[in-house]
Amino acid sequence: MGLIGQMLTGPWMKKFYSNESSLSYVNAIHIVMSVIGAIEDAKNDHLSFSHDFFGNPIDVSRAPELFANVPDEVRRVLREMLSGIVLVLKLQYANYVKMTPQKIDALTIPTSGARVHNIDDEEVMGMFSASISKAPNATIPYVSAKMRTKKNGVMDKLMSDVPSQEMFNVSIRLANSVRRRRRDELSALIYGGATSPPGSQNP
């Protein structure tokens, strides 16, 4: 993983996710296509650790133990990992892989406002996964509302303002009351007037 980090993931993050990056979407596509080609050349030929897959020289002195005498078994595993990475990249950029450089260049104007990364989507998906793991029985609308509240800072605003906090607490009590009433109505409908199954007690 350290070798992959030096050769691919580290330079990838610096190139596409850095605040200093001013790449256009089309230029980013060309770079990805070039990286895919460099990875394929490396795994099919011999792995050289002098340059990363973006063509930048690697400062081996920063981690000499990582690059010194890399065993054949590690090289084999590394090639397999690179094959998997190429497969994923080709699937992710499938539409562009089939296009000529000229056709990709034609996208310059239509994609002028597009970002070169999907960090926002990744953040949202991470929040969604975390919310689902904490409350696996929660509904999607509930999880969505909770995520929007966190992203927009609504709760911080409510809890910092006394009148808003009081209204928020009242809303919670009313919502709980409505939920209990609906539960009792549903139980009465199912069990013929009882608020819980025969032989059970209300919590």
**93 and 80 in a common domain:** yes
pLDDT for residue 24: 75
55 with 125, same domain? no
203: domain range? 153-203
Q: 83 and 131 share a domain?
A: no
Provide the pLDDT for residue 193.
56
Give, in order, the Cα–Cα distances in Å from 97 to each of 13, 86, 172. 21, 12, 52
Same domain for 68 and 100: yes
Nearest to 38 by CA among 51, 26, 28, 29: 51
In this structure, are residues 40 and 97 in contact, taking their beta carbons and an 8 Å threshold? no
| Rounded CA separation 139/135 (Å) | 9
Number of domains in the chain: 3
In a domain, 110, yes or no: no
Q: What is the pLDDT along the chain (203 residues), one digit of tens a residue?
A: 677 888 888 888 888 777 655 677 778 888 888 899 888 888 776 667 778 888 888 877 777 777 777 778 888 888 888 899 889 888 887 877 777 778 777 776 655 555 655 555 556 656 767 777 788 888 877 777 777 777 777 667 766 776 777 887 888 889 889 989 988 888 888 887 555 555 555 54
Task: Report the C-alpha gap between 148 and 152 in whole angstroms.
Answer: 6
- Residue keyed to tokens 């590690």: 74
Same domain, 161 and 181: yes
The pTM of the full predicted model, rounded to 2 decimals, is: 0.50
* In a shared domain, residues 138 and 195: no
